Copies of this chain bind each other. A is one copy, B any other.
Amino acid sequence: MTILYNKVTIIGLGLIGASIALATRRAGVAGHITGCDSGDNIADEIASLDLVDSFVADAGDAVNDADLVIMAVPVGALGALSAAIIPKMKPGAVLTDTGSTKRSVMRDVAPNIAPHIHWLPSHPIAGTERSGPSAGHATLFDERYWIILPLDVPTDVVDHFASYIEALGSISERMEPDYHDKVLALTSHLPHLIAYTIVGTAVDLEGQLKNDVIRFSASGFRDFTRIAASDPVMWRDVFLNNDEAVLEMLQRFSEDLSFLQRAIRWQEGDKLEELFTRTREIRRSIIDAGQS
């Protein structure tokens, strides 16, 4: 493979950051990969996992001379982090992030942007319920969408970055911040909120019933517990930062749920069956789209 960036610096080596490091190495598209993470005693773990070519504890030092800087931290931390590193970045370097809420990234990072760098927010739509450096996997992005927000970055710089994320296995896609947040509110944020809620409802049950819910989880509940095991801080930040779109989709969801609740109470089987038949079609569309 061709080297696309001489030096890639990844700040935050959780599930996403560690996976980017491993996928970059697999693709052979970076001359050098530097990792940075502020977690307690994390340097030894990073070293033992052999994720990066060099580990630098200080973010300002880590971005020194980097051609691409990837901020893979919870969205709530992007404002302060970008303020700290942008002055240390070299002219012409590209700065991106992997945050799930793009309107808030625009709001928090924009004030810190300096004209000597290219700011290109992005979002890889991939993940698992596991978190931390050891959860990283080189194949995480294979055949998954990775959304780029081109803003006013020159086309050749955007195209070059798109080549990089495609070399990591992903399908690149361009989108506007508002639309991104709306799509993600329904495809990702609301499902997580609901999974957290129902698992929370189970947590609050009395002893024996709670134990039996765990024992008999294979009947549907189990899928929700997987989603609800996702990283708490990352998801706290997602809901705080995409509150508008999430609350709008939640309102629609609540109305639809009330409709079904009423149908159950009044024994209106035809309404239930009609909806359950329509929802099947969506599954077929997803299978047809190769995302199943």
Chain A contacts to B: CB under 8 angstroms: 76, 125-127, 129, 144-145, 179, 182-184, 186-205, 209, 212-230, 232-233, 235-237, 239-240, 243, 246-247, 249-250, 252-254, 256-257, 260-261, 263-265, 267, 269, 272-273, 275-286, 289, 291-292
Contacts and interface: CB of A to CB of B under 8 A. Distances in A.
A196 B260 contact: yes
Contact of A225 (B193, B204, B257, B283): B283
A216 B201 contact: no
Q: A-B pairs with the 9 shortest C-beta distances?
A: A188-B219, A232-B276, A229-B283, A191-B220, A228-B279, A199-B279, A187-B221, A236-B273, A188-B220
A197 B292 contact: no
B200 A236 contact: no
A191 B194 CA distance: 10
A202 B279 CA distance: 9
A54 B85 CA distance: 74
17 contacts: A125-B216, A186-B201, A186-B202, A187-B216, A191-B198, A194-B198, A201-B253, A204-B252, A204-B256, A217-B286, A223-B223, A228-B276, A228-B283, A235-B276, A236-B269, A240-B267, A243-B265
A191 B214 CA distance: 14
Contact of A197 (B187, B201, B216, B256): B256
B221 A247 contact: no
Nearest to A190: B198
Contacts of A203: 278-279, 281-282
B282 A202 contact: yes
